[in-house]
Amino acid sequence: MGDDPGRLYRLDGVAHIACVINDEPRRCISSVRRQQGMRLDERYVSYLQMAGLYHLARLNDRWFRLDEPLVSAFVERWRSETHTFHMPFGECTITLQDVAYQLGLPVDGDYVSGCLTDFHLYIEGGRPAWQWFHELLGVLPPENQVQKFAVNCTWFQETFAECPDGADEETVRRFARAYIMMLLGTQLFADKSGNRIHIRWLPYVARLEEMGRYSWVSAALAWLYRCMCRVANRHVVKLAGPLQLLQSWIFWRFPTLRPSGYDEISWPLASRWSGYNPRISNKGPRVQMARMKIDLLQPRQFIWMPYSALDVIQVVHPKVLEPRHPGCPS
């Protein structure tokens, strides 16, 4: 464990971010997020719906910016051992239901798994990974755009920016695959590089019609937990992952911390805050202010009820989330 008994350490002996608050009262995390720059072509919609990712794609079309000071104050209360926020009134955390309602993703289904380095060994037929990439997407990135098993986002966006008019069905499928890989790599499973798309998604986009059988909710939540645990390390300042989910959850569950003027509810729920543009200056003082607001929170200021009890949305089928609110598109 650590050497200083007065400090807060994680179970792995790494100093927790909360232990440096007094030494660095204005410390603020920085977010790593890239807005997916590929246009949502109507010809991709059927594939996105089959994959259960259509609502996530609609979210991507709306600009989103993270309130880093507010999120930083929440990170200070994250405990890696329990995957919960330790608040003045008790513990709380983001659940599978939160992910489903905030991002409009399917809950039920098979687990999402795979390898980051040796996944090509399990490809059907034993083909090399980049050969499969060429078969599925019709093109290979130049060597200077590849880092191990990841491709630069810029090359992806420039190569698959616009699906040609009059394209045949196979070409549309290739562009849809590229769009989905960008969507997964930037919106749900972004890493701290902020500019790479891992090709581990090839086994999934190879069978577009089967992508809907996976529980993208559980995968996204697990990745967010992992990213939160990493940034809870006092030596880490960059936060990646599904950050739109994290911020929207904070706004929905803590009404006193949400911005004013965003009263229109739409589906998925995270779209409510589209266009929110927090100030990027004076982050240090704003972290201190957010920390103080959290310290003063009362139990009644946390909304613990499920969304259905709030009469916002009704789940009519395990894999189909359908909004009840008249302002929510289906």
What per-residue confidence (pLDDT) applies to 27?
92
DSSP state letters, 178-234: HHHHHHIIIIIS--TTSSEEEGGGHHHHTTGGGGGGB-HHHHHHHHHHHHHHHHTBT
Alpha carbon distance 100, 158 (integer Å) = 31
Greater confidence (322 vs 126) lies with 126
Residue indicated by tokens 């994680």: 10
What's the pLDDT score for residue 149? 86
pLDDT at residue 151, as a whole number: 94
Q: What is the pLDDT of residues 267-326, one digit of tens each?
A: 899 999 988 989 888 999 999 999 999 999 999 999 988 876 665 554 333 333 433 333
| Tokens linked to 273 | 């805050």
> Quick one: which of 234, 233, 237, 271 has its CA closest to 251?
271
List the domain boundaries for the chain.
25-315
Distance CA 121, CA 115 (A): 10
Longest CA span, the chain: 68
Contact 149, 133 (CB under 8 A): no
Per-residue pLDDT tens over the stretch 215-247: 999 999 999 999 999 999 988 999 999 999 999
3-state class (DSSP) for residue 138? coil
Query: If we measure between CA atoms, which residue out of 83, 319, 106 comes closest to residue 223?
Result: 83
Bridge partners of residue 79, in order along the sequence: 84
Classify strands 30-31 and 238-239 as parallel, antiparallel or unpaired.
Answer: parallel
- Can you state the angle between helices 216-231 and 243-253, rounded to 10 degrees? 90
pLDDT tens sequence across 11-59: 456 788 888 888 899 999 988 765 567 889 999 999 999 999 999 999 8
pLDDT at position 129: 83
